[in-house]
Amino acid sequence: MKFFNTAGPNQKDIHYTLDPLSRWDLEEILMLIDSRKYFVLHAPRQTGKTSCMLSLMEYLNNHGKFNALYVNVEIAQVARDDVYRGIRAIMSELSARHLDFFKNKLLDDHWKEILDKNGAESSLGILLNFWTTHSDKPTVLFIDEIDALVGDTLISVLRQIRSGYANRPDSFPQSVVLCGVRDVRDYRIHSSKTQEIITGGSAFNIKAKSLRLGNFSKADIEMLYLEHTKETGQVFEEGIIDLAWDYTGGQPWLVNAIAYETCFENRKARDRTKPITVEMLQNARESLILRRDTHLDQLTDKLKEERVKRVLEPIVACKEDLEDMVKDDDIQYVIDLGLVSRSKNGIVISNSIYKEIIPRELTYISQLNFESNHRQSWYIDSPSNKINFQKLLMAFQEFFQENSESWIQVFNYREAGPQLLLQAFLQRVVNGGGIVNREYGLGTRRTDLFIKWYPNMEDHSVSQKAVIECKLLHKTLDKTIEEGLEQVSIYADKCSAEESHLIIFDRTKDKLWEEKVFKKEMDSHGKKITIWGM
């Protein structure tokens, strides 16, 4: 029996697997190795880096030209600036992996002696020299999780590899491949010994190239899901691949996790005679978001970093063009983390699930606080069981006038405060009975929210659809309304929404609330739109 993999490297006997070597430009990698280059492979967490490197090691060893070895150095992270502890842990792990892969005790018998005799500052390089000179073929070394190392330990590893570079391939590895989340050039390493910041580019100035592992394509998703059909006979309903692509953007962990949640956690879906439906995938998406698995938890933890905030806050606040406001290094850092990507519309949050996770995480405490003050039942009409959006937004308008300043102050992302506060309010009401889809219009000063509510949670074929567009007041109120009406009517048509609202946040300092707060109804392209000022 096989499964979709959501933890660790793929194991072909139990996991649905795409050929890992097809995800790299194998020809380019082999050319770099043949030309004795040292290079970097990087990608966001849980994208398949380790699976790809293990496959590449196996490929090289099977073809008989090289002795290739993979080692994960994350074990040395706890050593931090203690170079001796860090290098000792790496040498021990390297020797253990050599014993595992080659069934050879050469390194295992000698690494401790090398360390005791030479000290931590040169022992790793000497061990690599010892391995290579005793190998019957040129050696290739893959070092995974290199950016898990900290401070002087990382500096020492990079410098020892750099020191041996000139001796390749006869007495040092022909090629060394560093793998991590970030490119080595982005490392800013604090040395406790010298009390200075050393860049990865200077500590490892022998790097020939940086290669990035991309996400799955839509065709990859289809091929992966087809593996499940081949294994079980269970088919996927039409539209599933498009929806999975929309939800995940091809992020490999998300692609696997949403499929595992759908096909294995859902009891109804375990009946392999029945197809996997769109509704099942929708439910799986919500379950993943609410459960906050390790992947999503690690992602949200990054939101606290100042560099990440500098990039994400303008996106969530829908400010002007991000690339005119933020340093390229910060943008590239957040791209490398996988949180955002470049598109024809500029820098955007990478996928639909991340768009949902990020504002929920930023407003998590606010949502909890709303639970006691704003009960879902207050805004649900009986007997239709539909949301009364007029009542809901009137309550939010009143709440915003009375409490927005104090609530926004507690947000880490204050510039996006009004939009986040509205989303927290909506999330509290919609939770458990529907979904909120978000679109951020960077440079357009707007956020589009599409609410899909199920009056009967047992029957997802019937839903209530509404769109809410949030805009920041820009130039004049009339101009902002004119732009907003055009935009919200187009968005409502795209979503087949029955109800449309335009919210205009006026952030003008010293302006009286009685000038900001209003409600009016207008028509645009045959659609009735309620406009809320606040």
Task: Assess contact for 48 and 20: CB atoms under 8 A.
Answer: yes
Is pLDDT of 325 > 90?
Answer: no
Please state the φ and ψ torsions of residue 473, each to the nearest 5 degrees.
-60, 125
Task: Assess contact for 5 and 16: CB atoms under 8 A.
Answer: yes
Name the pLDDT band for 321 (thresholds 50, 70, 90).
low
Neighbour tally for 239: CB within 10 Å: 11
Distance (Å, whole) CA 413 – CA 306 = 10
Exposed, middle or buried, 268 (CB in 10 Å: 0-12/13-18/19+)? exposed
Q: Model's pTM, two decimal places? A: 0.82
Closest to 425 measured CA to CA, from 369, 348, 342, 505? 369
* Measured torsion, CA atoms of residues 329, 335, 339, 345, in degrees rounded to the nearest 10: 100
Q: Kindly report, residue by residue over 119-129, the tens digit of the pLDDT.
A: 999 999 999 99
At which residue do the structure tokens 């390229």 appear?
328
* Measured torsion, CA atoms of residues 74, 79, 81, 82, in degrees rounded to the nearest 10: -130
> What count of residues does the chain have?
534
pLDDT value for 358: 86
- In the chain, the percentage of residues whose pLDDT exceeds 90 is 60
Is pLDDT of 66 > 60?
Answer: yes
Is pLDDT of 499 > 90?
Answer: yes
Q: What is the CA radius of gyration of the chain?
A: 27
**Strands (DSSP E) found in 108-206:** 139-144, 175-180, 188-191, 196-199
pLDDT value for 324: 64
Q: Kindly report, residue by residue over 395-422, the tens digit of the pLDDT.
A: 999 988 887 777 666 666 777 788 888 8
pLDDT value for 356: 84
294-301 and 252-260 helices, crossing angle to 10°? 140
Which is more confident, 325 or 473? 473
Q: Kindly report, residue by residue over 179-191, the tens digit of the pLDDT.
A: 998 887 777 776 6
Which is more confident, 461 or 73? 73
Across the range 380-399, mean pLDDT stands at: 93
Q: Kindly report, residue by residue over 78-95, the tens digit of the pLDDT.
A: 999 899 999 999 999 999
At which residue do the structure tokens 């937004």 appear?
393
- In the chain, the percentage of residues whose pLDDT exceeds 70 is 92
Is pLDDT of 296 > 70?
Answer: yes
Across the range 164-175, mean pLDDT stands at: 96
pLDDT value for 377: 82
Output the average pLDDT for the chain: 89
Is pLDDT of 436 > 90?
Answer: no
pLDDT value for 329: 84
Amino acid at 191: S
Question: Minimum mean pLDDT among 190-199, 283-292, 514-523: which range?
Answer: 190-199
Distance (Å, whole) CA 427 – CA 359 = 10
Across the range 488-508, mean pLDDT stands at: 92
Across the range 345-366, mean pLDDT stands at: 80
At which residue do the structure tokens 């096909």 appear?
263
Q: In this structure, are strands 196-199 and 446-453 parallel, antiparallel, or unpaired?
A: unpaired
Is pLDDT of 267 > 80?
Answer: yes
Is pLDDT of 372 > 60?
Answer: no
pLDDT value for 11: 94
Which is more confident, 509 or 203? 509
Buried b (16+ CB within 10 A) or exposed e, 94-131: bbebbeebeeeeebeebbeebbeeeebebbbbbbbbbb
Name the pLDDT band for 12 (thresholds 50, 70, 90).
very high
Is pLDDT of 458 > 60?
Answer: yes
Return the structure tokens found at 357: 């996770």
pLDDT value for 378: 86
pLDDT value for 505: 92
Distance (Å, whole) CA 285 – CA 279 = 10
